[in-house]
């Protein structure tokens, strides 16, 4: 029987204040036992001589200031892990919610993880073919990469994510797993993905951590950490190729802001805490490959940009940490182009080493450079056409307009169900580029 402390000093949203007991340590996991016998998990976030502040992950609704008992666990928050995690559904803090009972295992891991030693890492080079021309041709996904999708509300980014999972050839590898973290997601989103997993027959390979929009928001700040702890176990203990999808990181950051404000911290940009960068990094940096391990963790976090603003702190800081980004554009979406990838804003930093003769085709780099530079020119010509009218443009500029149109309609727009291999993608790119006069193609 552990020591229990009766009563609380004060409750403020998801934070509860307790008179500082003996032997309590910072970041320690505690359990609150309500009168009804319900147990809720929290951890210590502020500690001083008089008062201890505990954040309660499942919210503080219904907690009675006098009757609640607090029990210290003596360790930081941990989750149980075993191979049986695969195919299961957990809530945002790693408790099973699919009615199949607790995970039975002796292995417990601290969810905060520890930083990978940079010299133990292996530089990711293996190209993942997604079957989507824009991604394969212009911003290739590499195994072990963290490549977020920046989207706006109302743009159907889930379709793109689902298409990547469906078409990516990682599926052919029997040793793959998907870890799926939902933070503040809509019920429909969760169901949409579940349906897709079922149809593709991969449900038994998916571990889901689900925090829906009606679940306590504070729970969300644990979800990515729990999900990644599980992913690290699968990748580096069980040698699996793990794809981690986190949706939506904006909801996560907002929860972080909520707690920070409640704690009375000094806010930085747009009210987000000053440590948002470090905090996001502690999540994103948990992707990668290690030299002496077979497994890998590839991350695709999804971010809805508030007001489609790429300079908003969340997408901005994310872009500084991740190895590129796939940006979806509202204009393309409204033109009916699927997937609506805005290639000029998008980038894959690991692409340069994962393409070329050994991996894809020798001319891959020059083709993609040419597309980027010509398409950037298309934007200038379009702006000019708005002022002068199309008929007054020079012949070269008219060809640029035709190229822009063909590129969007034929190359970008491929629909949800077409899968193109890399050779088809590159040939198509060349075909579209032929619209331009030869002297404009300075990179091929």
Partner 1 sequence: MIGNVFDGIERPLSKLQEYSGDFLKKGCNIDAIDLEKKWHFIPSVNLGEKISRNTIVGTVKESEFFDHKIMNPNHIEAEVIYIAPEGEYTAKDTIAKIRDNEKEYNITMVQKWPVRIQRPYKERLTVREPLITGQRVIDTMFPIAKGGTAMIPGGFGTGKTMLQHQMAKWSDADIIVYIGCGERGNEMTEVLEEFPKLIDPKTNRPLMERTILIANTSNMPVAARETSIYTGITIAEYYRDMGYHVAIMADSTSRWAEALREISGRLEEMPAEEGYPSYLPSRLSQVYGRAGITKSYNGNIGSVSIIGAVSPQGSDFSEPVTQNTKRFVHVFWGLDRELAYARHYPSVNWKISYSEYIDTLQDWYEKNVDEHFVDDRLEIVKLLQEENELQEIAKVVGQDVLSDMKKLVLETCKSIRLGFLQQSALSDIDTYVPLKKQYRMLKSILNLYTESAKLVEKGIPISKIKALGLFEAYIKLKFNVKNEEIFKFDEFDQNVLEKLKQLDEEYKDYM
Q: Contact, 185 vs 246, CB < 8 A?
A: no
Q: Which residues of 36-70 are buried (b: 16+ CB within 10 A; e: fewer)?
A: eeeebbbbbeeeeeeebbbbbbbebeebeeeebbb
Q: Which is nearer to partner 1, 252 or 284 (CB)?
A: 284
Q: Which is nearer to partner 1, 80 or 349 (CB)?
A: 349
CB atoms within 10 A of CB 153: 13
Nearest distance from residue 346's CB to partner 1, in Å? 9
Nearest distance from residue 372's CB to partner 1, in Å? 5
Nearest distance from residue 286's CB to partner 1, in Å? 7
Q: Which is nearer to partner 1, 290 or 430 (CB)?
A: 290
Q: Which is nearer to partner 1, 80 or 263 (CB)?
A: 263
Between the alpha carbon of residue 375 and those of residues 403, 407, 440, 441, the distances in Å are: 8, 8, 12, 12
Nearest distance from residue 176's CB to partner 1, in Å? 21
Rounded to whole angstroms, the maximal C-alpha distance in the chain is 86
Nearest distance from residue 240's CB to partner 1, in Å? 16
Nearest distance from residue 349's CB to partner 1, in Å? 8
Report the alpha-carbon distance of residue 52 to residue 83 in Å, rounded. 37
Among 218, 180, 189, smallest CA distance to 90 is for 180
Q: Which is nearer to partner 1, 19 or 121 (CB)?
A: 121
For residue 385, give the 3-state DSSP assignment. helix
Nearest distance from residue 88's CB to partner 1, in Å? 25
Q: Which is nearer to partner 1, 166 or 286 (CB)?
A: 286
Q: Contact, 182 vs 212, CB < 8 A?
A: yes
Nearest distance from residue 107's CB to partner 1, in Å? 15
Beta-carbon contacts of residue 411 (< 8 Å; ≥ 6 apart): 133, 134, 137, 371, 428, 429, 432
Q: Which is nearer to partner 1, 5 or 150 (CB)?
A: 150
Q: Which is nearer to partner 1, 313 or 340 (CB)?
A: 313
Question: How far is CA 415 from its chain centroid?
Answer: 23
For residue 368, give the 3-state DSSP assignment. helix
Give the DSSP H or E segment for 11. strand 10-12
In the structure encoding, which two tokens stand for residue 205, read together?
């390979």
Q: Which is nearer to partner 1, 74 or 274 (CB)?
A: 274
DSSP characters over 390-419: GGGS-HHHHHHHHHHHHIIIIII--TTT--
Q: Supply φ then ψ for residue 237, to 5 degrees.
A: -100, -40
Peptide bond connecting 35 to the previous residue in cis, omega within 30 degrees of 0: no
Nearest distance from residue 364's CB to partner 1, in Å? 12
Q: Contact, 218 vs 259, CB < 8 A?
A: yes
* Interacting residues with partner 1 (CB under 8 A): 113-124, 144, 236, 265-269, 273-275, 277-278, 281-282, 284-286, 288, 290-293, 311-313, 316-317, 319-321, 323-325, 344-345, 347, 349-350, 352-353, 365, 369, 372-373, 376-377, 383-384, 387-388, 392-394, 439, 442-443
């Amino acid at each position: 029987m552990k020591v229990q402390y009766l009563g609380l000093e004060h409750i403020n949203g998801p934070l509860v204040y307790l008179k500082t007991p003996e032997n309590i340590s910072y970041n320690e996991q505690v359990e609150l036992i309500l009168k009804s016998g319900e147990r809720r998990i929290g951890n210590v976030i502020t500690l001083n001589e008089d008062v201890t502040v505990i954040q309660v992950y499942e919210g503080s609704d219904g907690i009675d200031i006098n009757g609640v008992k607090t029990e210290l666990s003596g360790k930081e928050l941990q989750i149980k892990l075993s191979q049986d995690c695969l195919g299961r559904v957990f809530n945002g803090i790693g408790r099973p919610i699919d009615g199949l009972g607790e995970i039975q295992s002796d292995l417990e891991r601290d969810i905060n993880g520890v930083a990978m030693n940079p010299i133990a890492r292996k530089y990711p080079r293996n190209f993942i073919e997604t079957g989507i021309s824009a991604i394969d041709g212009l911003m290739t996904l590499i195994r072990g990469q963290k490549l977020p999708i920046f989207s706006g509300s109302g743009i159907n980014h889930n379709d793109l994510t689902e298409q990547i999972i469906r078409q990516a050839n990682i599926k052919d590898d029997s040793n793959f797993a998907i870890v799926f973290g939902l933070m503040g997601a809509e019920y429909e989103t969760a169901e949409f993905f579940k349906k897709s997993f079922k149809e593709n027959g991969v449900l038994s390979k998916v571990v889901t951590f689900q925090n829906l929009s009606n679940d306590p928001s504070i729970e969300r700040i644990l979800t990515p950490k729990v999900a990644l702890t599980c992913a690290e176990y699968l990748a580096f203990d069980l040698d699996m190729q793990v794809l981690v999808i986190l949706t939506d990181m904006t909801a996560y950051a907002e929860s972080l802001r909520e707690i920070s404000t409640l704690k009375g911290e000094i806010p930085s940009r747009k009210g987000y805490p000053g440590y948002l960068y470090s905090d996001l990094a502690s999540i994103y940096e948990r992707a990668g490959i290690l030299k002496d391990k077979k497994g890998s963790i590839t991350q695709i976090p999804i971010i809805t940009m508030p007001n489609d603003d790429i300079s908003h702190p969340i997408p901005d800081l994310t872009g500084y940490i991740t190895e590129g980004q796939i940006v979806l554009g509202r204009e393309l979406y409204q033109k009916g182009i699927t997937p609506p990838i805005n290639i000029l804003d998008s980038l894959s930093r690991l692409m340069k080493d994962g393409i070329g003769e050994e991996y894809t085709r020798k001319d891959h780099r020059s083709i993609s450079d040419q597309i980027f530079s010509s398409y950037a020119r298309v934007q200038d010509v379009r702006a000019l056409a708005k002022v002068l009218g199309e008929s007054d443009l020079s012949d070269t500029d008219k060809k640029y307009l035709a190229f822009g149109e063909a590129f969007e309609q034929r190359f970008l727009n491929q629909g949800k169900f077409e899968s193109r291999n890399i050779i088809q993608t590159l040939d198509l790119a060349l075909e579209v580029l032929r619209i331009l006069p030869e002297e404009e193609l300075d990179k091929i």
